Structure 1
Amino acid sequence: MQRRQLILALTACATLPLPVRAQTYPGRAVHIVNPFAAGGALDQLARLLAQHLNVALDQPVVVENRTGASGNIGTAYVAKSAADGYTLVMGSSATHGINPSLFGARLPFDPVRDFAPVAVAVVQKNVLVVHEGLPAHTVQELIEQARAQPGKLSFGSAGAGTSQHLSGELFKAQAKVNLLHVPYKGSAQAMQDLLGGQVSMLFVDIPTALPHIRAGRLRALGLTAAQASPALPEVRPLAQLGLPDFDLKAWYGVLAPAGTPAPVLARLNTVIVDSLRDPKVREHLLGIGMEPMTLDLDQSAQYIATELQRWADVVRLSGAAL
């Protein structure tokens, strides 16, 4: 009887569903969407992180450029992607700082509700550079030339709504000059036109400008942040060159769709922070003008929330509009 009861019990247990086996992440390729064009600072960072994630996660990590609408197209694509950790976006002070204020109700995603911050990776200072053929050799000479030729000088940017665009608008407001804004689909395209003389100046990320400054093809007049940059120690901040309230710097980081499981977010944050702590990675980033951050999940979320408000104030002060 006891034997019969044991057999029945074992048979009953066999019909119960087995515990679901914990899924290991990642089990396939991870895609990082860069919502801006290839060749710019954000693209350089995305590909650097992808190399380290590839090794740490033991899976292919692919960078995909989905450009357009000041970064909104690629960012909206990720917002609507599955919340499983396999589709991430390179967020920035453009997509998760400036665009919400510039685009308002036209923004195709909510920067807070639709995303889970993974890691704010770096802060990035822009540099004001001019074509070597431009007569101005100082910020004050540039301002004088702009005042003498209102609307004739132009500044390019990586797109409307980027920190480069806002740097130019704030420069116009504080220097009281009239400049023409020429938006591009990325820093690399804007740089090509500056080198070709199609635009007069750029407020551009240091990684994009640095090779041309060192080669003597461009003249660096000032930094947009109030602090010096290790990559360009000889270039002074605009705040020290007659524009005392000028202090703008961008940030770049990684975000996932809202609802991504907490263990996946934690794993990604740990891997990214570990890569940014690597001495060789830090040296490389600092050498091209990016300053690494090592923020955890909560710190990254708080940083982005603070930046949303800060850039809203900059948009208002600059008078920028689309």
Structure 2
Amino acid sequence: MFLIRQQDIMPAAGAGQPMAAEWGNMIMITRRILGASALATAAIRPAGAQDSTIRFLVPYAAGGGQDISARLLAEPLRAALGQTVIVENRSGASGMIAAQALAQAAPDGNTIMLGGAGETAVNQHIFHGRMAYDPIRDLRPVMIVVKVPNVLMGYPQAAFSTVEGLVTHARANPGRLSYSSSGIANPQHLAGELLNYLARINTVHVPYRGSGQAVLDIASGQVQFGYNSLASGLPLIREGRIRAIAVTSRERMPQLPDVPSVSEYAPLAAYELVNFFGVFAPAATPDPIMQRLHAAVAGAMAAPELRARFEAQGLLVQSMTLAQSRAFVVTEAEKFGRIVNAAKITVEG
């Protein structure tokens, strides 16, 4: 059984919330983005706008991946909807504070959230009765805007350099290989558990508070491999201090065109494990409002400049319909549930 208390997570320099801390290396790069999007939080109503203001909830602190993405979206949404859009960071409880606030908000289109996998598809399998909302029942996806792949990174002097080599080595050394991630029960951790399950291997998860030390310990050989974002690992990959073995999405990443996906190894063709960011509304939001919101989000994501900004951060831009977004979240939640149950993952405290 995989049982870890929150206080047992390995400490790391610059600790932060797991799902967003991995973006720390991108903060300096994105200062211009944050500055350019500051107008989205200004209380200036454009001509012809409605009297209402849209609260755009972000489940994590300012400067993280979801916050940056929300601020990128806020200004084009303001222009498309003719309403002031205020990004509101409601961090805490693994994203559940913001998600619960959304679930309880009036279904009038004036409160939305940029949600990720944790608060919309994973937490219900971890926290069970401790949640005051059901993300599938109480939240409604407007549109999934990006998939967030992770990179399977390896120690350069390890006995393997490919997915096939890793699987072969792990089978020959059950329980002796360890992998790092930026926390417990996040998509990086679950990426490792999915590999364990599909490849029928036993590798040991070593959780950290954030991605910084998790990546450095791959480079030093403290762990043999790990899963992390492109942003957190790319500098060390370029320096040759860690090896990019594979990516966890089905598609290769434009920034790493020579690095295969895990699923390209034929026995693991079913493998895909990504985080995602999507715009969500309260479940009871009427269809006409949902359609209006979807049109605004889809129009924003279709703009070449905005698309390029997302892609520059290693994100895979999506163009899902309302129905496709709903089906995607349901499918991902079911998949995460199977992984959590198979690995017997629980979190105390």
TM range (shorter): 0.7 to 0.9
* Deviation readout 1:89-129 (Å, 9 max, x if unpaired): 22233322232233333333111221222211122322112
1:209 equivalent in alignment to 2:230: no
What CA deviation, in whole Å up to 9, does each residue of 1:257-296 have, x standing for no partner? 2333544433322111001111222233334332222233
For residues 28-47 of structure 1, what are the alpha-carbon distances to aligned partners after superposition, in whole Å with 9 as ceiling and x for unaligned?
352322x2455554333223
Structure 2 vs 1, CA of residues 221 and 117 (structure 1 numbering), >3 Å: closer, same or farther?
A: same
Q: Which runs of 5+ in 1 are unaligned?
A: 1-22
Q: For residue 190 of structure 2, what is the aligned residue in structure 1? A: 166
Give CA deviations for 1:51-74 in whole Å, capped at 9, x if unaligned. Answer: 4324434524314151333x3233
Q: TM-score, normalization: structure 2? A: 0.70
The answer on 1:179 being equivalent to 2:220 is no
Could you tell me which residue of structure 1 aligns to residue 14 of structure 2?
none
Q: 2:278: which partner in 1?
A: 253
Query: Whose radius of gyration is greater, 1 or 2?
Result: 1
* 1:111/1:60 CA distance change after superposition, 3 Å: closer
1:66 aligned onto 2:87: no
Kindly tell me: are residues 243 and 210 of structure 1, through their superposed partners in 2, closer, same or farther at Cα, counting changes over 3 Å? farther
- State the superposition RMSD in angstroms: 3.3
Query: Which residue pairs with 1:114 in the alignment?
Result: 138
Structure 1 equivalent of residue 126 of structure 2: 102
CA–CA distance in 1 between the matches of 2:65 and 2:235? 13
How far residue 192 of structure 1 moved from its aligned partner, in angstroms, is 4.4
Aligned length: 292
The CA deviation at 1:134 is 6.2
Which residue of 128, 132, 138 maps to 2:152?
Answer: 128
Q: How high is the TM-score relative to the length of structure 1?
A: 0.75
Alignment match, 1:195: 216
Are 1:290 and 2:315 an aligned pair?
yes
Residue 88 of structure 1: aligned partner: 112
- Tell me: CA distance 1:26–1:218, structure 2 relative to 1, closer, same or farther (3 Å): farther
Which residue does the alignment assign to 2:247?
A: 223
Q: Deviations over 1:155-209 (max 9, x none)?
A: 113x43322121011223325133133153xxxx223442366765432233443
Partner Cα distance (1:182, 1:242) in 2: 29
Query: CA 1:39–1:263 in 2, change beyond 3 Å: closer, same or farther?
Result: same
Counterpart in the other structure of 1:31: 56
For residues 138-157 of structure 1, the aligned pairs below 5 Å read 138-139=162-163, 142=166, 144=169, 148=173, 150=175, 153-157=178-182
Secondary structure class of the residue paired with 2:278? strand
The gaps in structure 2 that reach 5 residues or longer are 1-47
Q: Distance in 2 between matches of 1:48 and 1:257?
A: 22
Structure 1 residues 274-283 or 24-33, which shifts more?
A: 24-33
Identity, % of aligned pairs? 29
